[in-house]
Amino acid sequence: MSESNLYRSLMRCPVCFSRDTDVLMINTGNEFHYCPKCSFQGMESEIRGMYRDIQKKFHNMGKRFTLEDQRAL
């Protein structure tokens, strides 16, 4: 795996992603990112927290439904 890959330090905009749009933010080099498409800007830790918020809608994200389980769903 390439350690020098450009994408190591890039993140997607959580505001655009919540609209189902992938937009790579621009990393200014100090864990601060801004979006070239919308007005959102923030630190990496804040962005990761927003990703968690996006996932809250997936109520069954941690559940395994086997074939038998799914027949009964």
Partner 1 sequence: MMLFNIFHRPGAGAHYDIYRQQQELAHQLGLKTTIFLYYSDLFDPRAIADAIRDRDTYGDEISLALHNLTGPGITEISNGQIALWLLDRERKEQILARMIGKFAEVFGANPTSIGSYHLDSSCLEILRRLAPEARTVIGGCFEEGVRVFHGCNHSWYLFNEGMPWNPWYPSKTHGLRPARDEEDASGVVAVPHLVRDMSLAFEGRNDFWASHPPNVIRGMGNDATFCPYDLNLVDQYRMQAEWNGGYSYYNTFVSPSWLDWNHNSEYPPEVAWELYRKFLTYMASLKKDGQLEDLTLSAYGERHRQIRPVGHDEVYLAKELLYGSGKHYFWFVDPAYRVTIDATQGGSIGDLRPYAGQAPVATGPDTPHRDIGSYPYLIQSQHRAGNAHHCYDGARTTLLIKHGEQTLDLCNFRAKVASVARADGKVKIALTPVRFSFSDGVSGDLTTRYEFGNGTITVCRELSGLPAQADLELIEYFKGAPGRTEYPEDLHGIVLEANGSSPVHRDFDYSGQWSEAPGATEVAALIPHVRTRLSLQSGSAVSGRVHAGHLFSPYFTLQLAHRLIGNGTTCTCLNLTSIAA
Beta-bridge mates of residue 33: 27, 42
63 counts as binding partner 1 under rule CB under 8 A = yes
How many Cα atoms are found within 13 Å in the side-chain-facing hemisphere of 9?
13
Q: Nearer Cβ to partner 1, position 30 or 73?
A: 73
Task: For residue 10, state whether it binds partner 1 (rule: CB under 8 A).
Answer: yes
Instruction: List the 41-43 sheet strands across, edge first.
Output: 26-27, 32-34, 41-43
Q: Binding residues for partner 1, per CB under 8 A?
A: 1-2, 5-8, 10-12, 17, 20-24, 37, 48, 51, 54-55, 57-67, 70-71, 73
